[in-house]
Amino acid sequence: MTRVHVLATGGTIASRSGEGSGATAGDSAEVLLEGMDATADVEVTSEDVMTVGSYRLGLPELATIARVSRERAEEPGIDGVVVTHGTDTMEETAFLADLLNGTDTPVVFTGAQRAADHPDTDGPRNLRQAVLAAAHPNARGLGALVAFDGLLLSARGTRKGHTMVSQPFTGGTLVGTTHGDEFRLHARPHRPGTLDLPDSGLDGVRVDLITAYPGADPAALPSAVDRCAHGIVLAGTGLGNAGPGHAEAVADVVARGVPVVLATRTLAGPVLGVYGRGGGADILAAGAVAAGELTPFQARILAAALLAHRPDPHEFAARFTRLR
């Protein structure tokens, strides 16, 4: 019999409304599974990793979830792993889990848009679909995935695109769909490689995210270094542009040994050095590393995972470019 192991971390799927306040996470993995319809020919086991809203997570907690998911994926007898997680930052944790998962065992993230005590909660249905996807032989070798509202998306490139609707995620690769008990594979996601974390995980690693906008002050970049940032992601406009002074600020930060990754705040498309006069061409020439098509949030995760090893600037740039 196929075995799927569920790791519960909290989020809306585990949340219920409190008296006089908003919903908070509290349901255990056991409670989540009690609300899910049984799946034929799949043994489901579970454990609690943490129980928290994903908006409260820091990099060390993301590293814990990703590392435990990889450890379970490596265990003999486990054919698939499911992680229940809040939707707010699922795109970051799922991407880190994908970077760490060098096994053929799929790690499928899911959650809910409506709390466990909502009359139309979507958690049990999403959990069941995630379990079915993780158990399917066609999911092997696909890395970390996001299963939500009948769709199975690659972790890489996926981002939360709506605050309320039943399918909040957009971007990424449409890997598969579920219809009842049927899982249908559509495509295999791009996975350029995996990495590991040091024993300390992401403890003490700080990567700041700075967004470009009309009138933005480029002093935000050196200020981040002054506040002990180990790396910076600059989310530029369009193809990766920013206003006057940003290229000079990037050059200053890079000269101080702090890497800068240039991403785009645009919802889709690559970073390219097309424009001068402080645009992306000048920012890249100043020493920034292009994020490719990674979102700013996932570029930050890759940068943090690399900086945990304290690489020199050339090594950072080479490894980031290879894994982006």
Delimit the domains of the chain by residue range: 2-185, 207-323
Residue whose tokens read 């290229």 = 247
pLDDT of residue 255: 97
The rounded mean pLDDT for the chain is 95
Nearest-angstrom CA–CA distance, 264 and 2: 41
Residue 243: how many other CB atoms lie within 10 Å: 18
- Phi, psi values for residue 300, rounded to 5°: -65, -40
Active site residues: 12, 87
Q: What is the 3-state secondary structure (H, E, C) of the chain?
A: CEEEEEEEEECHHHEEEECCEEEEECCCHHHHHHCCCCCCCEEEEEEEEEEECHHHCCHHHHHHHHHHHHHHHHCCCCCEEEEECCCCCHHHHHHHHHHHCCCCCCEEEECCCCCCCCCCCCHHHHHHHHHHHHHCHHHCCCCEEEEECCEEEECCCEEECCCCCCCCEEECCEEEEEECCEEEECCCCCCCCCCCCCCCCCCCCCEEEEECCCCCCCCHHHHHHHCCCCEEEEEEECCCECCCCHHHHHHHHHHCCCCEEEEECCCCCCCCCCCCCCCHHHHHHCCCEECCCCCHHHHHHHHHHHHCCCCCHHHHHHHHHHHC
* pLDDT above 70 coverage of the chain, percent: 99
**Residue 104 labelled as part of a binding site:** no
Q: What average pLDDT score do residues 286-308 get?
A: 98
Whether 2-185 and 207-323 share one fold: the answer is yes
Going by C-alpha positions, the residue among 322, 318, 308, 261 that lies closest to residue 287 is 261
Q: Which fold has domain 2-185?
A: Rossmann fold (3.40.50)
Nearest-angstrom CA–CA distance, 213 and 228: 24
Going by C-alpha positions, the residue among 230, 235, 239, 246 that lies closest to residue 283 is 246
**pLDDT of 12 over the 70 cut:** yes
Residue 155: how many other CB atoms lie within 10 Å: 30
Nearest-angstrom CA–CA distance, 161 and 171: 9
Q: Which fold has domain 207-323?
A: Rossmann fold (3.40.50)
Dihedral, CA of residue 129, residue 133, residue 136 and residue 140, to nearest 10: -170
pLDDT of 38-65, one tens digit each? 777 899 999 999 999 999 999 999 999 9
pLDDT of 165-222, one tens digit each? 999 999 999 999 988 788 899 999 999 999 999 999 999 999 999 999 999 999 999 9
pLDDT of 227-260, one tens digit each? 999 999 999 999 999 999 999 999 999 999 999 9
Do residues 240 and 262 make contact, with C-beta atoms less than 8 angstroms apart?
yes
Residue whose tokens read 């970051």 = 92
Give the pLDDT band (50/70/90) at residue 116. very high
Give the pLDDT band (50/70/90) at residue 20. low
Lowest mean pLDDT across 6-10, 175-179, 279-283, 318-322: 175-179
Axis-axis angle for helices 313-323, 296-307 (nearest 10): 130
Residue 120: how many other CB atoms lie within 10 Å: 7
Do residues 114 and 88 make contact, with C-beta atoms less than 8 angstroms apart?
no
Nearest-angstrom CA–CA distance, 145 and 77: 20
Do residues 190 and 139 make contact, with C-beta atoms less than 8 angstroms apart?
no
